Amino acid sequence: MLDRRKQRRHVINRVAKFQTEVGGLPRDCLITDMSAAGARLFAEGVEVPERFSLVITGTQGIRRDCRVVWRLGGEVGIVFTSPPRVDRAQ
């Protein structure tokens, strides 16, 4: 199978949250793999909107604006549409 990705993805299996608007309720998801340009998320039982902010948790939360590029069951492929920034709300 031909891999058409421009950048290498790394398996990370990290819990994250996605949020559709400032002040909106964040929803849980799992980042299964990620590159500098995008990621694959697993969010079963939750509707993921076409555009949203992804908050990657850790010692400092990182927020990235995203756009969905594909869907397959509970998996969602996204592309990052903004540079990473520190999430002050964490």
Region label for 88, one of left (φ > 0), alpha (ψ between -120 and 50) or beta (otherwise): alpha
pTM over 0.95: no
- Note whether 20 and 27 are within 8 A (CB): no
For 4, residues 6+ apart whose C-beta sits below 8 A from its C-beta are none
Percentage of the chain modeled with pLDDT above 90: 59
Residue 84 is predicted with a pLDDT of 92
Residue whose tokens read 């949203």: 52
